[in-house]
Structures are given as structure tokens and as C-alpha cells.
């Protein structure tokens, strides 16, 4: 089997040496600081992917990428993003992103544990840890929904079904608690906060759908925002819980869900009370009527001669 060949273009020679870790994982790495030489290599050597540094002094990055696409449009071009910081307006020629926030050998080691071909982890997760964290979150949501489809059939109360959803997800994460801790620290970085919020919203949305929620009105959003706060607090509590079977965490969860139930009851009482409050718009309508005075009957129409 032919080893994947990666072409790295960077104006910094020292930065190119960081790509040498790929050599130890079964990849052929071509390095160059010249735009012209990168085009020659791309034309003469079978290349599986190109990695471009976001800053290439003396080179027009967009023009270079367009010429590469003209030569071999099937070869993906990955933009290197230091510390996982994505550009606000990604260029059209970018096929993917590669994070430089963690050593390449760490992602390669994870790929080997999953039985992936050496070097293919970069093509599966072109944005590095960001793609890996997003995939792990989505995968756990999918497994949680499959388990809940069987376990929540006998639970009548909605609060019990939501509690079961949170418990099932934490049970799925139990073997990876340290990885979850590191993922949360990674998502806490300013550049990764949007990704963290997206993963959280998708998780709580999957929970509500799994327990049979079909709301489409404003309650759709209030339910998910309330559960997002409860799940986030429970997850942080769970990370440091040393009790047997995480009993303290689940007791904490039950208290938070009970609080949410009381808030829902209070909201229902307020809404019911507001139904008996007179509509103030009717008062202004009465004022307009009194200002005009009583309605005068129309004068009789004289008969036609």
C-alpha cells in the first residue's frame, strides 16, 4: 500500500521541522519554502494533501492555491491554524483546516488506537482536535439516543426521563472521564467557545428528542436552555465526583431537575394569573370613545323627486 504523501508549504524553515512527526507515522512529507517549487512538486509527485501556512511572506497564497487547483483539483488544500483559531472569512480554496494547537503525534496515536491507517487521521480530522471533539460529542449523542429508546419506555414522568437521559450520557462518558476533562479545557479557549456551545446545544436537543419532546413553540427553546444549564453544571460536578457509582452526582442532578420543575410550576401560575388581568388596551379604546362623544345618528335622506 502506498504511503500518503503530504506537501507542506511554509516560509519558516523551523516551522517545517514540526511536520517531521508525520514521517514516523507512515507518511511521505515534502517540505518547501518556495511557491514555484511547490507547484513543481505537485505536478511531478503523487500528492494526497497540501498544507499551507496562513502567512506566507513573499507569496500570494490565494494565487498559489488557485494554481494548485488548476494542476490537481482533486488534491485537498488544508490551511494550518495555529492554536485552533479559524479565520473569520475562510478563503474559497480551503478544503479543510489543520490545527497546530497539539502535537501531530498525539492525534496520530489516537488514530492508531482506532485502527486507522498511518497518516489517515489528518485526512479524517483535517481540523485536528476541533474535528475530533465534535465527532466524539456527536457519536456519544447517537449512542445515548439508542440506549434511551429502550430505557425510557416505562418512565411516565418527564422529569424521570430527562434524568435518565443525563445519566445514560454520563455512563457512556465514564470510561473517558479524563478525555472529557481535557476536551472541556480545549473548548474553553476563546477560539473554541462557539464549537463548545454548538456541541452543548446538539446534546440537549438530542436528549429532548430522545424523551419524546415534540414542542415547536417558544417552549422548544426554553426547555433546551434550561437543560443546557443543568447538564453543564452536572457534568462539572461529575468530573470531580469520587462517590461510588457517582451517587453524589445523580443526587445533584435530581435537585437541579426539581428546581427546574418548580420554576415551570411558578411560570404556569403566573400565566394563569395574567389571564384574569384586564387588557390595558381596552382602557385606551374606551378613552377614544369618550373623547369622540356619543355617536350621532345619520340624518335622514330626503326622498327623490
Q: Give 10-66 pLDDT, tens digit per residue.
A: 766 655 555 555 554 567 778 887 888 888 888 888 888 888 876 665 667 778 888
Query: Do 50 and 135 share a domain, yes or no?
Result: no
Q: Residue 127 and residue 80: Cα distance in Å, rounded?
A: 8
Residue 61 lies in a domain: yes
**29 φ/ψ angles, rounded to the nearest 5 degrees:** -115, 125
* Helix, strand, coil share of the chain (percent; to 5): 65, 10, 30
Residue 184 lies in a domain: yes
Report the CATH number that the domain containing residue 193 is assigned in CATH.
Answer: 1.10.357.10
Q: What is the mean pLDDT of residues 277-302?
A: 56
Longest alpha-carbon distance in the chain? 112
Residue 160 pLDDT exceeds 90? no
Judge contact between 63 and 16, C-beta under 8 A: no
Which residue is listed with cell 511557491?
A: 35
Nearest to 235 by CA among 303, 297, 292, 184: 184
Domain that holds residue 215: 130-275
Query: Do 142 and 244 share a domain, yes or no?
Result: yes
Exposure pattern of 160-188 as b/e (b: 16+ CB <10 Å)?
Answer: ebbbbbbbbbbeebeeeeeebeebeebbe
Query: Do 106 and 168 share a domain, yes or no?
Result: no
- Residues 6 or more apart in contact with residue 260 via CB below 8 angstroms: 159, 226, 227, 230
Lowest mean pLDDT among 139-153, 172-186, 270-284: 270-284
Of 71, 103, 127, the residue that ends a domain is 127
pLDDT value of residue 257: 87
pLDDT value of residue 251: 93
Residue 302 lies in a domain: no
Residue 288 lies in a domain: no
Q: Give 180-202 pLDDT, tens digit per residue.
A: 998 898 899 888 899 999 999 99
Of 107, 127, 147, the residue that ends a domain is 127
**What share of the chain has pLDDT > 70, as a percent?**
60
Query: Do 158 and 112 share a domain, yes or no?
Result: no
pLDDT value of residue 238: 95
Of 127, 155, 187, the residue that ends a domain is 127
Nearest to 49 by CA among 80, 81, 77: 77
pLDDT value of residue 90: 58
Query: Do 160 and 236 share a domain, yes or no?
Result: yes
Report the CATH number that the domain containing residue 65 is assigned in CATH.
Answer: 3.40.50.2300
Query: Do 77 and 60 share a domain, yes or no?
Result: yes
Judge contact between 128 and 102, C-beta under 8 A: yes
Q: 171: pLDDT confidence band, cut at 50, 70 and 90? A: very high
Domain count, the chain: 2
Residue 264 pLDDT exceeds 70? no
Question: Which helix (H) or strand (E) segment is 280 a member of?
Answer: helix 280-292
Alpha-carbon dihedral 160, 162, 164, 169, rounded to 10 degrees: -170
Q: pTM score, two decimals?
A: 0.53
Most confident of 145-154, 191-200, 216-225: 191-200
Residue 26 lies in a domain: yes
Residue 73 lies in a domain: yes
Q: Cell digits for 88?
A: 473569520
Amino acid at each position: 500500500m502506498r504511503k500518503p504523501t503530504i506537501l507542506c508549504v511554509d516560509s519558516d524553515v523551523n516551522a517545517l521541522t514540526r511536520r517531521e512527526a508525520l514521517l514516523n507515522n507512515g507518511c511521505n512529507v515534502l517540505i518547501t519554502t518556495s511557491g514555484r517549487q511547490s507547484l513543481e512538486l505537485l505536478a511531478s509527485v503523487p500528492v494526497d494533501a497540501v498544507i499551507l501556512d496562513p502567512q506566507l511572506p513573499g507569496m500570494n497564497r490565494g494565487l498559489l492555491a488557485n494554481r494548485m487547483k488548476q494542476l490537481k483539483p482533486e488534491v485537498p488544500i488544508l490551511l494550518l491554524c495555529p492554536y485552533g483559531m479559524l479565520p473569520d472569512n475562510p478563503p474559497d480554496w480551503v478544503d479543510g483546516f489543520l490545527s497546530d494547537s497539539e502535537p501531530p503525534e498525539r492525534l496520530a496515536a489516537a488514530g492508531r488506537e482506532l485502527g486507522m491507517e498511518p497518516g489517515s487521521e489528518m485526512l479524517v480530522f483535517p481540523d485536528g482536535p476541533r474535528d475530533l471533539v465534535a465527532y466524539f460529542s456527536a457519536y456519544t449523542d447517537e449512542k445515548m439516543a439508542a440506549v434511551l429508546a429502550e430505557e425510557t419506555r416505562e418512565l411516565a414522568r418527564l422529569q424521570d426521563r430527562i434524568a435518565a437521559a443525563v445519566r445514560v450520557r454520563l455512563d457512556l462518558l465514564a470510561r473517558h472521564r479524563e478525555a472529557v476533562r481535557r476536551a472541556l479545557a480545549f473548548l474553553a479557549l476563546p477560539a473554541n467557545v462557539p464549537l463548545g456551545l454548538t456541541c452543548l446545544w446538539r446534546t440537549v436537543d438530542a436528549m429532548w428528542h430522545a424523551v419524546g419532546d415534540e414542542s415547536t413553540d417558544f417552549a422548544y427553546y426554553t426547555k433546551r436552555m434550561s437543560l443546557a444549564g443543568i447538564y453543564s453544571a452536572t457534568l462539572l460536578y461529575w468530573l470531580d465526583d469520587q462517590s461510588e457509582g457517582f451517587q453524589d452526582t445523580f443526587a445533584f442532578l435530581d435537585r437541579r431537575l426539581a428546581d427546574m420543575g418548580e420554576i415551570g410550576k411558578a411560570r404556569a401560575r403566573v400565566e394563569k394569573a395574567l389571564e384574569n388581568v384586564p387588557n390595558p388596551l381596552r382602557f385606551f379604546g374606551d378613552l377614544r370613545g369618550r373623547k369622540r362623544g356619543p355617536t350621532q345618528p345619520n340624518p335622514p335622506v330626503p326622498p327623490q323627486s
